Chains A and B, each alone.
Chain A
Amino acid sequence: MPDATFLDTTELVLNMGPQHPSTHGVLRVILKLDGEKVMGTECVIGYLHRGVEKIGENRTYQQFAPYVDRMDYVAAVSNGLGYCLAVEKLLNIEAPARAQVTRIILTELNRIASHLLWLGTHALDIGAITPVFYCFREREEVLKIFENYCGARLTTHAFRIGGLQYELYDGFEEQVKAFCDMFLPKVDEYEELLTNNRIWVARLKGVGILSGDECKEFGVTGPVLRAAGVKWDLRRAQPYSGYEQYDFEIPTGENGDTYDRYMVRMQEMRQSVRIIRQAVDKIPTGPIGKTPKVIKPATGEVYVSIEAPKGELGYFVVSDNSTQPYRVRVRPPSFVNLQALDRMVRGGLVADVVAIIGTLDIVLGEVDR
């Protein structure tokens, strides 16, 4: 270029990640910047790709179940539930009532744990150091319940195809109820720290707006979709595991910005407590289900999806009438939601990229599988 002057500007390409504390794992984002303004992004993913779908084709139906916990490892119980439901659908069986209620309690506890981890790390990204300690303190109580139930805290493998592996331990109900009583005031406490905090509001309001129509275009689901005002939750739209028997609200936002997504997730934690309280009062007696020794579904294919903490988690399973799935496809909410990142950050400030990655609540283990 001839006659370059000091007033000339060029586009700056900035690399963020894959080792960056606020990408929540190994996500690499290449940012194209004009000053502080983001002109475009490119996501580089795959660092955590372990070939989960290929592994599924090489394991029996039962053997593959623990692997799904390793996708969204902060919501392992949800992953397991989705997989069990998909195979049960393929076999055309249903878990007994006691197993279903237990599943709901554990899945909702896991939703709380997942949202707590999100809240803590998201606040940390924005610059609020305190909430992460509070969130991990309460999350610990959830993990203790998981540990008491099945011995594992994170990758729980809590459910089995056809029901549960373990009977509930003595004192399960009391511990869950005690958690609920303890937890609700804690949510208020988090809100006291953040909701009207001037810095928090200034960093979040109007940032990373994604409208309801844009969400549908990209296939974005979960709290991100609800924060844009679309009242859609698979637990209500297409209930599974008996969710139709519970009273709960679907929190929604209006503006589809980062602040609304924060509010939606805070409300969802309260609603989860509401569901857990209803469920724990009516755990029926009876069998907890038995995993069939040999699982050999008839030739066919099904798609079953659940409302995971991050959005619609689906399993597309193809059976060729053998003991191993012919094909397992996981429809990961994090992967699909991450695709909207470019739309959300474009035209915004580079400092907001961190807030927007945080608000999407992605887990790279699930993005890459």
Chain B
Amino acid sequence: MADEPKPEGGAAEPGKPAAETPKAAPPKPAAAAAGGHTPPKPPAPMASTPWEGEIPGQLKERFGDQIRECAAYLGQNFLAAKPDAVIPILEFLKLEADFDYLVDITAVDYPKRAERFDLIYILYSFARNERLRLKTMIADGAQPPTAVNVHVGANWLEREVFDMFGIQFAGHPDMRRILMPEEWEGFPLRKEMSIIQQDDRWVKENLGIESGQ
């Protein structure tokens, strides 16, 4: 399947990445078999390969140790950065590396980790025809700065992340729920929320029934 350009020779065999990667954390089948959904332990357990090239070089030169990792998984490039550096990196990528299209912002919840959430920005460059993912880890209650000033389209995407995970974006012009009702309590995509769990008070007040289940 033709996808993003492979970064270096290292990712030529993405089928068996674990065998050839320096910082590969071995998969943990035991955890999965035991409980179905036990999240893996920190740090990021992905069997990624290093990503080298022009962009990681520029970024490392510019942002130094703010960049934690430049890597690729199955030929898809991503970089991990500290939360404070996210907006400057987005700005840099947009203005100086042509990553002018913010595809998506989303989050992943790892409740057992100290920095609980992965915040993920997916970017695309029309000029380069390349994608990359910018990841950062934030703790529960932390307020990462909004990306609205860099990419207008971040507005609704951040609202959805807030709605689903309860991550407040500092400086966002309109930080409200977007899909769930505004008075709803709880954040559905957090892992402690069961799939049938509801805000019973809201259901009772607005639908006049004890529970939707």
Mark contacts of A312-350 with chain B using CB atoms, 8 A cut-off: 1 yes-contact digit, 0 otherwise.
101010101111101101010001100100000000000
Q: List 20 A-B contacts (CB under 8 A).
A: A53-B189, A54-B193, A57-B189, A92-B14, A216-B100, A218-B153, A219-B102, A296-B32, A299-B25, A303-B122, A312-B103, A316-B104, A320-B37, A320-B39, A322-B31, A326-B37, A326-B39, A327-B109, A329-B104, A339-B153
Q: Is the interface of B mostly helix, strand, loop or mixed?
A: loop
Please name the residue on chain A nearest to B133 by beta carbon: A303
Given contacts A88-B1, A299-B45, A300-B74, 14 further A-B contacts (CB under 8 A): A46-B179, A51-B188, A54-B193, A54-B195, A57-B189, A89-B3, A92-B15, A219-B103, A239-B2, A299-B40, A321-B31, A321-B40, A331-B106, A368-B179
Whole-angstrom distance between the Cβ of B2 and the nearest chain A Cβ: 5
Question: For B129, what are the chain A residues with a Cβ–Cβ distance below 8 Å?
Answer: 237-238
The 9 closest A-B pairs by CB, nearest first: A322-B32, A219-B153, A46-B179, A331-B104, A218-B153, A329-B106, A49-B179, A321-B27, A300-B46
Q: What's the Cα separation between A69 and B45 when bound, in Å?
A: 31
Known contacts A54-B189, A326-B39: A299-B1 contact under CB 8 Å: no
Q: Is A134 an interface residue (CB 8 A)?
A: no
Q: Identify A318's interface contact among B4, B15, B102, B108, CB under 8 A.
A: B108
In contact, A320 and B40 (Cβ under 8 angstroms): yes
Please name the residue on chain A nearest to B14 by beta carbon: A92
Q: Is B18 an interface residue (CB 8 A)?
A: yes
Question: For B17, what are the chain A residues with a Cβ–Cβ distance below 8 Å?
Answer: 298
Question: For A305, what are the chain B residues with a Cβ–Cβ distance below 8 Å?
Answer: 103
Known contacts A46-B179, A49-B180: A216-B37 contact under CB 8 Å: no
Whole-angstrom distance between the Cβ of A308 and the nearest chain B Cβ: 14
Question: For B126, what are the chain A residues with a Cβ–Cβ distance below 8 Å?
Answer: 216, 230, 232
Q: What's the Cα separation between A219 and B153 when bound, in Å?
A: 6
Known contacts A238-B129, A298-B47: A316-B73 contact under CB 8 Å: no
Q: Identify B37's interface contact among A89, A219, A324, A368, CB under 8 A.
A: A324
Please name the residue on chain A nearest to B108 by beta carbon: A327
Question: For B63, what are the chain A residues with a Cβ–Cβ distance below 8 Å?
Answer: none
Which of A57, A220, A241 is packed against the most chain B CB atoms within 10 Å? Answer: A57
Whole-angstrom distance between the Cβ of B160 and the nearest chain A Cβ: 8
Q: What's the Cα separation between A218 and B32 when bound, in Å?
A: 39
Q: What's the Cα separation between A311 and B17 when bound, in Å?
A: 32
Mark contacts of B37-67 with chain A using CB atoms, 8 A cut-off: 1 yes-contact digit, 0 otherwise.
1111000011110000000000000000000
Mark contacts of A229-265 with chain B using CB atoms, 8 A cut-off: 1 yes-contact digit, 0 otherwise.
0101000011111001000000000000000000000
Among A289-316, those with CB < 8 Å from B are: 296, 298-305, 312, 314, 316
Please name the residue on chain A nearest to B35 by beta carbon: A322
Q: What's the Cα separation between A369 and B178 when bound, in Å?
A: 12
Q: What's the Cα separation between A90 and B89 when bound, in Å?
A: 27
In contact, B152 and A218 (Cβ under 8 angstroms): yes
Question: For A219, what are the chain B residues with a Cβ–Cβ distance below 8 Å?
Answer: 101-104, 151, 153
In contact, B74 and A46 (Cβ under 8 angstroms): no
Question: For B102, what are the chain A residues with a Cβ–Cβ distance below 8 Å?
Answer: 219
Mark contacts of A43-80 with chain B using CB atoms, 8 A cut-off: 1 yes-contact digit, 0 otherwise.
00110010101110110000000000000000000000
Q: Identify A321's interface contact among B3, B32, B76, B177, CB under 8 A.
A: B32
In contact, A335 and B156 (Cβ under 8 angstroms): yes
Mark contacts of B66-92 with chain A using CB atoms, 8 A cut-off: 1 yes-contact digit, 0 otherwise.
000000011010000000000000000
In contact, B103 and A46 (Cβ under 8 angstroms): no
Q: Identify A238's interface contact among B4, B46, B106, B188, CB under 8 A.
A: B4
